[in-house]
Structure 1
Amino acid sequence: MKKIVGLSLFTALVMMSCKKNETADQLKLDASETTTQQAPVVLESDIIKEANKQPETSLALSEPSFDFGKIKKGDVVEHIYEVTNTGKNPLIISNVQPTCGCTVPDFTKDPILPGQKGKITLKFDSSNFDGVVHKAAQVYANVAKNPIELTFTADIQPK
C-alpha cells in the first residue's frame, strides 16, 4: 500500500513540474503540432532491482547540485556531472530519470572501471518557466544507496 501511495505522489509531482501546456507523456514536435507518446511504465523498484543485479561498488560525484544562475527564458542549458568509480567493481549506471519532461538526461552507458570517470549530462529547456526553478534527476547504479539525486537550479529571466 505504501508503494502505491508513494508512486501516486511521485506521479503527481512529475505531472505538476512539467511544462504548463503539456502532460508528461506528450512530445512537442514543433510550435503547432503535438503528439501523445505512451512511455512504458517502469516502476522505481524494478529500476533499483536492475541496478542491484551487478556487484556493488561506490562512486563519487563532482557535485550533487549545480546552479545555472540567471538565464534567459527559452534558453536550453546543460551541465555535466562527473562521476568517479571509487569502488572495486565496474560502475554501471542503469538509468537516469529526471522529475520533469523539461530535462533530458544523457550518461555514460559503458561500465566505468575502478578509478575511472564517467559523465551524467542534464539538459534543461527553460521555455515554459519563470523565476527560480529547482529540478532533480534520479540516478540508478550498482551502489548501496539507490537512487542518487542530482539537482540544479536556475533563475529564469524574461527575454
Structure 2
Amino acid sequence: MKRILGLSLLAVLTLASCKKNEAAETSTATTTTEQKDPFADDRVVKQSDLVSEAKNHAETTLALSEPDFNFGKIKKGDVVEHVYEVTNTGKNPLIISAVKPGCGCTAPDYTKDPIMPGQKGQITLKFDSTNFDGIVYKSAEVYANVAQVPIEIRFSADIQP
C-alpha cells in the first residue's frame, strides 16, 4: 500500500513539474523571441511587438521560392547558408521588418529596403552545424506586412561526423 501511494505521489509530482515547465515554455515561446544572431543586439523582443511593427504598413502579399529547404548531408562543423527568394505579389511595397531564427545556431539576413510590387528580395539563413549530429530541423519566423504573420521558413540537414 505504501509503495502504491509512493508511486502515485511520484507520478503526480512528475506530471505537475512537466505541466509547470510546459506552461513556462509555452508562455515564453508565444510572448518573446530571443535574438541570438550576429545581426541583432542581445535584447528580448516581444512577438506581439514584431507583429505590430509588421502591421504598421499597408498590407500586401508575397510568394516564397520555397518555404522548406534541405541541405542534405553536411559535415559536422560546416557553416552553410540558403537564400530564400521573396517576391512581392501585392500592390503595396513589401516590408520585411524582422526575421527571427528558432535558435542561436542560425543567423538571418534579409532585404531591409521595401520590395516594390513585382520585385524580389531575399532572406538568407546561415546555419552553424558545430553542435549537432544526425538529422536536424530548424526554422525562422518572418515578420512582414502581410495578412498572416509570422511566416515560417524551414530547413533541414543530415549532419555527418
**Taking structure 2 as the reference length, what is the TM-score of the superposition?**
0.78
CA distance in structure 1 between the partners assigned to 2:52 and 2:138 by the alignment: 25
Map 1:1-159 → 2, pairs under 5 A: 6-9=26-29, 39-158=42-161
Q: Which protein is bigger by CA-based radius of gyration?
A: 2
The percent of aligned pairs where both chains have the same amino acid is 65
CA contact (8 A) 2:65 2:84 kept: yes
Gap runs ≥5 in structure 1: 16-23, 28-37
In structure 2, the CA distance between the partners of 1:9 and 1:41, relative to structure 1 (3 Å rule), is closer
Gap runs ≥5 in structure 2: 1-22
Q: Which amino acid aligns with 2:92?
A: N
Secondary structure of 1:87's partner? Answer: coil
Shift, 1:39, TM fit: 1.7
In structure 2, the CA distance between the partners of 1:9 and 1:138, relative to structure 1 (3 Å rule), is closer
RMSD: 2.5
Aligned to 2:11: none
Segments of 4+ in structure 1 off by > 2 A?
A: 3-11, 24-27
Q: Which amino acid aligns with 1:117?
A: K
In structure 2, the CA distance between the partners of 1:151 and 1:25, relative to structure 1 (3 Å rule), is closer
How many residues get paired? 136
Higher mean Cα deviation, 53-62 or 39-48? Answer: 39-48
Relative to total residues, which structure has the larger helix share, 1 or 2? Answer: 2
